[in-house]
Amino acid sequence: MRTPVRWIPRTNDYRELQDIGLVFIDGYHTEEQARFDYEAFSGKLARDGIALFHDSVRPFTSPIYGANKIYEHSVYRFMEELKQKKDLQVFDLPFSSGVTLVQKTI
């Protein structure tokens, strides 16, 4: 049985996590889901830990779930918000749909 993502922060395995070096966030591709995933794990990152966000540098629509379920990838909006925080370094790799690296300023 797989644990639903929204329940992960409630598990014992999650509570025992510490000093994570790398988190790769590639979920539902929305601003809201990217924020949830980052907030769930940012407190667990090591001092020099990195969060990578996929599909994060520009808006685009995706028909991946079918023609009647097209949605907009909006992770880029959350990246713009993180870029305003002085305690973070945010670096875009703008290849294809992009990857963004986020790290606490050391």
Q: Which two tokens stand for residue 23?
A: 């988190």
Cβ atoms of 25 and 38 within 8 Å: the answer is yes
Instruction: Give the CATH superfamily of 19-104.
Output: Vaccinia Virus protein VP39 (3.40.50.150)
Q: What is the per-residue DSSP string for 14-48? A: HHH---EEEEEE-SS-SHHHHHHHHHHHGGGEEEE
User: pLDDT of 69-84, one tens digit each?
Assistant: 888 899 999 999 999 9
User: pLDDT of 14-26, one tens digit each?
Assistant: 778 788 999 999 9
Give the pLDDT score at 2.
47
Q: What is the mean pLDDT of the chain?
A: 87
> Angle CA(98)–CA(79)–CA(51) in degrees, nearest 5?
75
